[in-house]
Copies of this chain bind each other. A is one copy, B any other.
Amino acid sequence: MTGTTDRAAGPRAYEAVLASIEAELRSGELNIGDRLPGERTLSEKHGISRASVRDAIRILDVMGLVRTATGSGPNSGTILISDPAAGLSSTLRLHVASRHLPVADIVQARILLETWAAAAATERPLDEPSLARAAELLARMDDPALDREAFHDLDSQFHVLLSTLAGNAVVSAMMESLRLSIMDYVRHSVTTDEQWQPVGQALRTQHHGILDAVTARDGELAARLLRDHIEWFFTQTSH
Q: A94 to B60, alpha carbons, bound, how many Å? A: 9
| Residue interface bits A72-111, CB-to-B below 8 A is 1, else 0 | 0000000010101011101111110111111001101100
Q: A4-B156, A100-B169, A109-B171 are in contact. List 16 more A-B contacts (CB 8 A).
A: A2-B160, A4-B153, A4-B157, A7-B67, A31-B98, A32-B100, A58-B58, A62-B62, A63-B94, A65-B94, A82-B98, A84-B91, A101-B169, A105-B170, A106-B170, A108-B171
Q: Are B100 and A82 in contact (CB under 8 A)?
A: yes
Q: List chain B residues, Cβ under 8 A from A153.
A: 4
Q: Are B168 and A109 in contact (CB under 8 A)?
A: yes
Q: List chain B residues, Cβ under 8 A from A59.
A: 58-59, 62
Contact of A109 among B9, B99, B170 (CB under 8 A): B170
Contact of A171 among B7, B67, B105, B157 (CB under 8 A): B105
Q: Are B109 and A65 in contact (CB under 8 A)?
A: no
Closest 10 CB pairs of A and B: A82-B100, A87-B91, A25-B97, A105-B170, A109-B170, A63-B91, A84-B95, A105-B168, A26-B97, A25-B98
Contact of A170 among B87, B98, B161, B178 (CB under 8 A): B178
Q: A207 to B106, alpha carbons, bound, how many Å? A: 28
A residues with a Cβ closer than 8 A to B are 2, 4, 6-7, 9, 14, 22, 25-26, 28, 30-32, 51, 54-55, 58-60, 62-65, 67, 69, 80, 82, 84, 86-88, 90-95, 97-102, 105-106, 108-109, 112-113, 116, 153, 156-157, 160-161, 168-171, 173-174, 178
Q: List chain B residues, Cβ under 8 A from A25.
A: 94, 97-99
Smallest distance from the beta carbon of A226 to chain B beta carbons, Å?
Answer: 15
Residue of B whose beta carbon sits closest to that of A23: B97
Q: A228 to B62, alpha carbons, bound, how many Å? A: 36
Smallest distance from the beta carbon of A225 to chain B beta carbons, Å?
Answer: 19
Counting every copy of the chain, the complex holds 2
Q: Are B84 and A63 in contact (CB under 8 A)?
A: no
Residue of B whose beta carbon sits closest to that of A84: B95
Q: Are A80 and B58 in contact (CB under 8 A)?
A: no
Q: List chain B residues, Cβ under 8 A from A32.
A: 98, 100
Smallest distance from the beta carbon of A91 to chain B beta carbons, Å?
Answer: 4
- Would you give 21 A-B contacts (Cβ < 8 Å), ordered by A? A4-B153, A6-B86, A30-B98, A59-B59, A60-B94, A63-B90, A63-B91, A65-B98, A82-B100, A87-B95, A88-B88, A92-B170, A101-B170, A102-B169, A105-B169, A108-B170, A108-B171, A109-B170, A109-B174, A112-B113, A174-B174
